[in-house]
Amino acid sequence: MDKNYNTDETFLARWISGELSEAERVAFEKTEAYKQFDIINKESQLLAGPDIDTEAALKLVTLKLQEQQKKPKIIRLWYAVAASIVILISLGTFLNSSKTHITGIGEKTHITLSDGSKVHLNANSSVSYKRFFWLGNKEVNLRGEAYFSVEKGDGFTVNTSKGHISVLGTQFNIKDRNELEVKCYEGKVSFIKSANASKTYILTSGMQVNVNDEHIYEGHFNHETPNWKDGISKFVNQPLSKVLEELTYIYPITFKTNSINTDRLFSGSFTHNNLNTALQTTLVPMGITYKKSPTSNVIILSE
Amino acid sequence: MPEKEPSICEEKIYNQLFKKHYEPVTKYIYYKCGSLQQAEDIVQNVFIKLWKLCATVTFSKAKAYIYKACNNLFLNDVAHQKVVLKHQQDIAKSTDYESPDFLIEVDEFREKLKAAINRLSVKEREVFLLSRIEKKTYREIAKLTGLTVKAIERRMSKALLELRDMLGKEIKL
């Protein structure tokens, strides 16, 4: 039996490529199916493949290659840079971090710095300084009141909100409340309002400087240690407002002054260990009566 | 020891390979997947890979590498869209005896032929189109696909049989 397109699985392929034997071809061309295959074959050969722009594709591939070659390096470099920055910042922040001591109302504390200098911190105050490398640049930030006993050495500076106090082996008190008061008990202290201020105040033993927002006053005193260190606050011709303010630092109280004139001057002292005694010694001589609210810490004042 | 082969790492050689193989291999992949966009993406990715591997692929093995890599990439492209081949019809050679009516019929037939080719399996369509459009011999196709000539002939015959099954009714004799 003759082979044909139904029985021979390579028959049609061989017909297309002209590999059929003469006998096979003649027999095949006589069949009905032949004409259909012939048309399919001829029509298929009229089809065209897609248009392909090789030049454009080469440009695209070259571009992609250039991008890929650059990118990884840049990305890695940026990651490295970013990581380094984060490490540097966190390390810097850590090394630059400050140690802070805070006292609440009525609290007192003392701190010994790494150069042996002592800081006695009065109530409602804080002192902060760099945790590391402090000896290289001895700076202390003060808010409130503190008594400093500084060991001999170079450049010890206290920064306050109203100026900078530089010292060289000495003992002094700084009170930065409504106004700033610097008292030198021993040695020499200099005060400068800001880094670019023209005038530097030099204080020696027994000298003080008082700084408010507008003025700077120089003065003298003759006690040997600040009274607060002995547990009392002493005032000489100070307005009542200052006395009341000081009381609120030592005792957890607030005042309701109503119509009382707080500009009146007061001379005297109050103790830090008994609120009633303190109130009596300050208010009674001024002719002020006071009433302690039973439920809160408000002291109501009246004439 | 034969003469030293040119290195693909040289841009001139690489570009030469690209210009020689890009079009045929893109068509080859296109006949398989039916999307020119996809085919071009596949082939371009292979050429990008070829540049990166330029030190390990020798010049004489480049062609085989390109076809093999394209084929693998095509097979990996699991989510390849349904085959829709868009054959561009060559402008039909106008023959004087064709009446306008017949031309319409021929156009219709050609559309149906394209649709029928699209319905062939990937294996048959690839062989059929490489043979009929690219005019490649069975031996060449066998080399490209890594199959035997006999297998190619079987696929070609099967493709023709299936096309006749699909189109036989359309051919008026």
Q: What's the confidence (pLDDT) of residue B170?
A: 76
Q: Look at residue A204 in the predicted model and tell me its pLDDT.
A: 86
Rounded mean pLDDT of A292-299? 80
Average pLDDT value for residue range A123-151: 86
ipTM: 0.78
Other C-beta atoms lying within 10 Å of the C-beta of residue A157: 15
What pLDDT is recorded for position A219? 87
Give DSSP secondary structure letters for B116-170: HHHHS-HHHHHHHHHHHTS---HHHHHHHHT--HHHHHHHHHHHHHHHHHHHGGG
Q: Are residues B109 and B56 in the same domain?
A: no
Residue B149 lies in a domain: yes
Most confident of the following: A156-165, A254-263, A267-276, B19-28: B19-28
Contact yes or no for A58 and B15 at CB 8 A: yes
B69 plus B104 within the same structural domain: no
pLDDT of amino acid A1: 45
CB contact (8 A) between residue A52 and residue B47: no
pLDDT for the residue numbered B48: 92
Mean local confidence (pLDDT), B28-54: 90
More confident residue, B3 or A142: A142
In the predicted model, is pLDDT for residue B93 greater than 50? no
> Domain for residue B124, yes or no?
yes
Residue B138 with chain A: CB contacts under 8 Å: 13, 17
Section B151-166 average pLDDT:
93
Q: How confident is the model at residue B110 (pLDDT cuts 50, 70, 90)?
A: confident
**pLDDT at residue A13, rounded to an integer:** 92
Chosen from A8, A17, A39 to mutate, greatest number of chain B CBs within 10 A:
A39
Q: Do A16 and B15 touch (CB under 8 A)?
A: no
Domain assignment present for residue B4? The answer is no
- Give domain status of residue B60, yes or no: yes
Cα distance between residue B124 and residue B130, in whole Å = 10
Residues B105, B70 share a domain: no
Nearest CA in chain B to A65: B48
| Domain stops at, among B76, B92, B116 | B76
Indicate the residue among B76, B111, B129 that finishes a domain.
B76
Q: What is the pLDDT of residue A106?
A: 83
Where in the sequence is the domain holding B151, given as residue range(s)?
Answer: 100-170
CA angle B79, B81, B84 (to 5 degrees): 160
Q: Which domain CATH number covers B150?
A: 1.10.10.10
Look at the block and give the residue holding tokens 């040997």.
A224
Q: Where are the beta strands (DSSP E) in chain A?
A: 47-48, 98-102, 109-112, 118-121, 126-130, 138-149, 156-160, 163-167, 171-176, 180-186, 188-192, 200-204, 207-211, 216-220, 232-239, 254-256, 265-271, 289-292, 298-302
- Dig out the tokens for B60 from the structure: 């004489």
Check pLDDT > 90 for residue B18.
Answer: yes
**Which whole number is the average pLDDT over B67-86?**
72
pTM of this prediction? Answer: 0.48
Mean pLDDT of chain B: 83
Residue B61 DSSP label: G
- C-alpha separations of A76 from A38, A81, A158, A233 in Å: 62, 9, 46, 64
Asked if B138 lies within 8 A of A17 by C-beta distance, the reply is yes
Residues B23 and B55 in one domain: yes
